[in-house]
């Protein structure tokens, strides 16, 4: 249940009927009533700009309209304590604090469910993310996409969407052939031969490792085998090795998928030719290749589907893949892509439309670059040079909690500077510790209470929570379900991180201002313990959403 939202809905309805009763507008004319939480506490708990919006319709001065509304408003029905008209015509509402009394019991009752809503209306949404080619290690940029996608899914799930997480495996096509050739070269090198890497080869350490491993397992067996057969085997071997490593790294990063979709299955099940049949009206032959007229759908140039040599471009199976996704009946499919793929969006949008699907179902989240800093200097990362900073390295260096926190703390379309030293530091500079410390602090207090024989059951008198810091905490706690729903609806998981930080700040501030355990005021102690339990639950649920641990002791 969402206590705050209920209060808000009630208020909106009351305002609307006041507007109608004051004959300022008819029911059809009234714009959506917008209630905002003013930044400044002196502007009340909620404010609305409805009087300004009605100025044109009612043909009156906004402040006069505001007066009329206030005169018609049934205050007690909406639990309003006080109303003020301010500025150009804002109506500020100061709510009775009694609704706050419901917050703690709600949280204690809902426990791990607190924060969940049905805002998403059970809509089916699929999020495809990471989908890294199985040709090398996951690096920084992938990790950011992984963290973003994972938290987005968590948030969507909590907001009542039916979420499916999918990883698209590029296990067909050129890059996999290159993998086989690279493995071959490293294998032969491991046997002591002087062989050059292929031009488009993968130079990562991992391929060297595969070469050595093959050498240990098979000796020179594959060197004397016919090349075609050798490459076929190396392809499968390399694929399995790389994919295994990716899956393992992701698991350690606390990222799991509901399905791993193989590009090869598209070939096997003729999905590509099926898709091409549908696109046929938009296809034409030129220069010995087959083109897709994406310009019909706003792309800046047409795209090749079938190359001169008869093979598909990368786009072609990807179109079939997206057709397959949409055929599965999702209300929305979300793709999380690195910023270097943003130019790919127009042609995929064209494909969606060419396939006959509404383009609104297709959404892409672009993840901007990550710049890594250590000792004040920028570290380069490049898969080709083999000097990539791998996710694995990062997890070992700074820990999963810090990496995940930093990666979801920022909006996906801002570039991110990741400071290794800061993420590693166990100091108050580090927001991860700051938030976790709030949780640990509460755990300590509750243990303390128990050891002093103070019962921590759920009976308490909410009316004893009247200190300013207590009211602030209660209001913040009440916002949580809306924060989650908002993060889900706007695809902005970083709002959860922000909320966590704010809640932790209020907790620390409260902690320094008020004493929780006080043998001389047992009733107040019990009320504060209940408050602490509610904060603990909310912190824990929020941390769970971003996939960061909640330590009981630090």
Partner RNA sequence: GUCCCAGUAGCUCAGCAGGAUAGAGCAACAGCCUUCUAAGCUGUGGGUCGCAGGUUCGAAUCCUGCCUGGGACGCCA
For the segment 123-152, give every residue that binds RNA (CB under 7 A): 133
Residue from 278, 369, 420, 471 that binds RNA (CB under 7 A)? 369
Tokens, residue 96: 């009775």
Pick 114 or 501: Cβ nearer RNA: 501
* Cβ pair 118, 370 in contact under 8 A: no
Q: Least distance from C-beta 309 to RNA, angstroms?
A: 6
Q: Provide the β-strand partners of residue 280.
A: none
* Cβ pair 523, 462 in contact under 8 A: no
How many C-beta atoms surround the C-beta of residue 504 within 10 A?
21
Residue 101 per-residue DSSP state: G
Site size with RNA, rule: CB under 7 A: 85
CA distance 368 to 145: 9
The reply on whether position 375 binds RNA by CB under 7 A is no
The reply on whether position 516 binds RNA by CB under 7 A is yes
DSSP states of 196-243: PPPTT----HHHHHHHHHHHHHHTTTTTSS-HHHHHHHHHHHHHHHHH
Pick 158 or 370: Cβ nearer RNA: 370
The reply on whether position 155 binds RNA by CB under 7 A is no
* Cβ pair 177, 235 in contact under 8 A: yes
The reply on whether position 182 binds RNA by CB under 7 A is no
Residue from 222, 241, 433, 480 that binds RNA (CB under 7 A)? 433
Q: Least distance from C-beta 210 to RNA, angstroms?
A: 19
Q: Least distance from C-beta 296 to RNA, angstroms?
A: 16
Residue from 413, 450, 468, 523 that binds RNA (CB under 7 A)? 413
The reply on whether position 343 binds RNA by CB under 7 A is yes
Q: Least distance from C-beta 507 to RNA, angstroms?
A: 8
Q: Least distance from C-beta 451 to RNA, angstroms?
A: 10
Site for RNA, residues 344 to 363, rule: CB under 7 A? 344, 346
The reply on whether position 203 binds RNA by CB under 7 A is no
Tell me which residue of 85, 10, 94, 4 sits closest to 50, measured CA to CA: 85
Q: Least distance from C-beta 224 to RNA, angstroms?
A: 30
Considering only the stretches 17-25, 109-117, 171-179, 246-254, report the one whose residues sit in contact with RNA under the rule CB under 7 A: 171-179
* Cβ pair 326, 286 in contact under 8 A: no
Q: Could you give the strand order of the β-sheet that contains 80-86, starting from the edge strand earlier in sequence?
A: 35-36, 46-48, 90-95, 80-86
Site for RNA, residues 46 to 105, rule: CB under 7 A? 47, 49, 52-53, 55, 86-88, 90, 92
The reply on whether position 514 binds RNA by CB under 7 A is yes
* Cβ pair 320, 272 in contact under 8 A: yes
Q: Could you give the strand order of the β-sheet that contains 362-367, starting from the edge strand earlier in sequence?
A: 259-262, 162-169, 124-128, 332-338, 362-367
The reply on whether position 437 binds RNA by CB under 7 A is yes
Considering only the stretches 118-126, 187-195, 251-259, 408-416, report the one whose residues sit in contact with RNA under the rule CB under 7 A: 408-416
Site for RNA, residues 257 to 316, rule: CB under 7 A? 286-289, 300, 303-304, 307-309, 311, 313-315
How many C-beta atoms surround the C-beta of residue 408 within 10 A?
28
Residues 6+ apart with CB under 8 A from 433: 426, 427, 554
The reply on whether position 431 binds RNA by CB under 7 A is yes
The reply on whether position 535 binds RNA by CB under 7 A is no
Residue from 40, 194, 228, 457 that binds RNA (CB under 7 A)? 40
Site for RNA, residues 438 to 477, rule: CB under 7 A? 440-441, 443-445, 448
Pick 39 or 224: Cβ nearer RNA: 39
Which helix (H) or strand (E) is 82 found in, with range?
strand 80-86
Considering only the stretches 38-46, 74-82, 271-279, 395-403, report the one whose residues sit in contact with RNA under the rule CB under 7 A: 38-46
Q: Least distance from C-beta 212 to RNA, angstroms?
A: 25
Burial 223-239 (b: 16+ CB within 10 A, else e): eeeeeeebbebbbebbb
CA distance 219 to 448: 63
Q: Least distance from C-beta 44 to RNA, angstroms?
A: 7
Pick 102 or 514: Cβ nearer RNA: 514
Binding string, 494-513, against RNA, x = CB under 7 A?
xx--x--x---x--xx-xxx
The reply on whether position 39 binds RNA by CB under 7 A is yes
Residue from 372, 394, 398, 416 that binds RNA (CB under 7 A)? 416
Residue from 1, 434, 456, 471 that binds RNA (CB under 7 A)? 434
Residues 6+ apart with CB under 8 A from 504: 434, 435, 437, 438, 539
The reply on whether position 488 binds RNA by CB under 7 A is no
Residue 369 per-residue DSSP state: P
CA distance 475 to 11: 17
Identify the residue whose tokens are 């959404």: 363
């Amino acid at each position: 249940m969402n206590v705050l939202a209920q209060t808000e809905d009630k208020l909106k309805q009351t305002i609307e009927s006041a507007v109608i009763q004051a004959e300022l507008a008819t029911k059809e004319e009234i714009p959506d009533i917008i209630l905002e939480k003013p930044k400044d506490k002196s502007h009340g708990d909620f404010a609305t700009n409805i009087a300004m919006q009605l100025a044109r319709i009612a043909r009156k001065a906004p402040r006069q309209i505001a007066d009329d509304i206030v005169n018609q408003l049934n205050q007690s029905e909406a639990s309003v304590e006080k109303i003020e008209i301010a500025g150009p015509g804002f109506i500020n509402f100061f709510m009775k604090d009694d609704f706050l009394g419901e917050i703690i019991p709600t949280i204690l009752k809902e426990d791990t469910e607190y924060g969940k809503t049905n805002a998403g209306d059970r809509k089916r949404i699929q999020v495809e993310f990471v989908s890294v080619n199985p040709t090398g290690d996951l690096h920084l940029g992938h990790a950011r996409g992984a963290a973003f996608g994972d938290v987005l899914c968590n948030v969507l799930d909590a907001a009542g969407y039916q979420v499916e997480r999918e990883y698209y495996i590029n296990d067909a096509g050129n890059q996999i052939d290159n993998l086989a050739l690279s493995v071959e070269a490293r294998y032969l090198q491991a046997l002591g031969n002087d062989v050059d890497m292929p031009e488009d080869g993968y130079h990562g350490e991992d391929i060297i490792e595969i070469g050595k491993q093959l050498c240990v397992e098979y000796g020179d067996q594959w060197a004397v085998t016919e090349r075609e057969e050798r490459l076929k085997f190396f392809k499968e071997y390399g694929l399995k090795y790389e994919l295994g490593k990716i899956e393992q790294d992701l698991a350690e990063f606390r990222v799991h998928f509901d399905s791993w979709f193989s590009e090869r299955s598209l070939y096997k099940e003729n999905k590509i030719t099926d898709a091409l049949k549908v696109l046929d009206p938009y296809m034409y032959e030129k220069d010995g290749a087959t083109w897709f007229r994406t310009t019909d759908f706003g792309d800046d140039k047409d795209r090749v589907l079938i190359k001169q040599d008869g093979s598909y471009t990368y786009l072609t199976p990807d179109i079939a893949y997206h057709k397959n996704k949409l055929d599965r009946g999702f209300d929305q499919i979300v793709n999380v892509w690195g910023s270097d793929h943003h130019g790919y969006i127009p042609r995929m949008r064209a494909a969606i439309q060419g396939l006959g699907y509404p383009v609104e179902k297709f959404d892409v989240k672009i993840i901007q670059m990550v710049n890594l800093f250590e000792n004040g200097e920028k570290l380069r990362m490049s898969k080709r040079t083999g000097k990539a900073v791998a996710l694995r390295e990062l997890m070992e260096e700074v820990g999963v909690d810090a990496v995940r926190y930093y990666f979801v703390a920022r909006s996906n379309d801002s570039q991110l500077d990741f400071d290794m030293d800061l993420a590693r530091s166990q100091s108050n500079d580090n927001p991860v510790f700051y938030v976790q410390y709030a949780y640990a602090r509460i755990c300590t207090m509750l243990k303390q209470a128990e050891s002093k024989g103070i019962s921590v059951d759920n009976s308490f008198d909410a009316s004893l929570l009247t200190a300013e810091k207590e009211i602030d905490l209660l209001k913040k706690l009440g916002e949580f379900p809306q924060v989650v729903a908002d993060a889900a609806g706007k695809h902005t998981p970083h709002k959860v991180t922000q909320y966590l930080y704010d809640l932790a700040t209020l907790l620390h501030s409260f902690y320094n201002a008020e004493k929780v355990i006080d043998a001389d005021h047992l009733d107040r102690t019990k009320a504060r313990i209940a408050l602490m339990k509610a904060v603990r639950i909310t912190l824990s649920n929020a941390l769970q959403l971003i996939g960061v641990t909640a330590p009981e002791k630090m």
